[in-house]
Chain A
Amino acid sequence: EDKVVQSPLSLVVHEGDTVTLNCSYEVTNFRSLLWYKQEKKAPTFLFMLTSSGIEKKSGRLSSILDKKELFSILNITATQTGDSAIYLCAPTQGGSEKLVFGKGTKLTVNP
């Protein structure tokens, strides 16, 4: 059975802190891993990771994949209140290209 575990499930930090969000997965026919940010409404795409060890970076956010150990991390440095959201990781399955979601990490950044 496919499994995606995100940790922590919830996290409260102060502005300026650095956070690391974790995602471990067991998915048949793994193809890639996607990270999404969800505020009030639709999840918005952050990163797609396909190769181990290659960091993807966008501003204060970065992410990396380890295909041997089957996990990914999402780092956010110098957090801001606008980073408050649910962060979702989703491995994709080859063939159908469907996404298998974890439960998400709810990040709250306090001023």
Chain B
Amino acid sequence: DVKVTQSSRYLVKRTGEKVFLECVQDMDHENMFWYRQDPGLGLRLIYFSYDVKMKEKGDIPEGYSVSREKKERFSLILESASTNQTSMYLCASSTGAVNTEAFFGQGTRLTVV
């Protein structure tokens, strides 16, 4: 079974802190994605990566950056956390081949106080 693991289920951080959310997949997938999910807004794409060291902005990249130094790991970085970044963060991965599904991690619920 494909496993996508997010390092934390729950995080509480202070405004202005630098925050790292880690995601690791064990199936040698090419593509990895970071979404945030908010009530009434659905899942919105922050960044995605289709190869090591490659990244592309999604729909809401402001306030975030990402890092993919190894194929299995995709990190989301909040350079200076703000309260409006309180959300559920979901990582996903896929093979990158045509017509394949994406697999999701369990999510990290981040609260910025």
Q: Determine the chain A residues whose CB is within 8 A of the CB of B98 once the complex forms.
A: 31, 94, 97
Q: Cβ of A31 and Cβ of B90 under 8 Å apart? A: no
**Count of chain A residues with a beta carbon within 8 Å of a chain B beta carbon:** 24
Interface centre among B4, B45, B92, B101 (most CB of A within 10 A): B101
Say if the beta carbon of A13 comes within 8 Å of chain B: no
Stretch at the interface among A37-45, A52-60, A66-74: A37-45
The B interface is mostly helix, strand or loop, or mixed, namely strand
Instruction: Evaluate whether A96 and B48 lie within 8 angstroms (CB atoms) in the complex, with A50-B99, A103-B42 already known.
Output: yes
Nearest CB in chain B: distance from A37 CB, A: 11
Q: How many residue pairs, one in A and one in B, have C-beta atoms under 8 Å apart?
A: 61
Residue in contact with B40 in the complex, picked from A31, A94, A103, CB distance below 8 Å: A103
Q: Cβ of B101 and Cβ of A48 under 8 Å apart? A: yes
Instruction: Evaluate whether A32 and B40 lie within 8 angstroms (CB atoms) in the complex, with A42-B107, A98-B45 already known.
Output: no
Say if the beta carbon of B63 comes within 8 Å of chain A: no
Nearest CB in chain A: distance from B102 CB, A: 6
Report B's interface with A, CB cutoff 8 A: 4, 31, 33, 35, 40-45, 48, 50, 56, 58, 90, 92, 94, 96-107
Report A's interface with B, CB cutoff 8 A: 31-32, 34, 36, 41-45, 48, 50, 88, 90, 92, 94, 96-104
Q: List 15 A-B contacts (CB under 8 A).
A: A34-B102, A42-B4, A43-B90, A43-B104, A45-B102, A48-B101, A88-B43, A97-B97, A98-B31, A99-B33, A99-B92, A101-B42, A101-B43, A101-B44, A101-B45
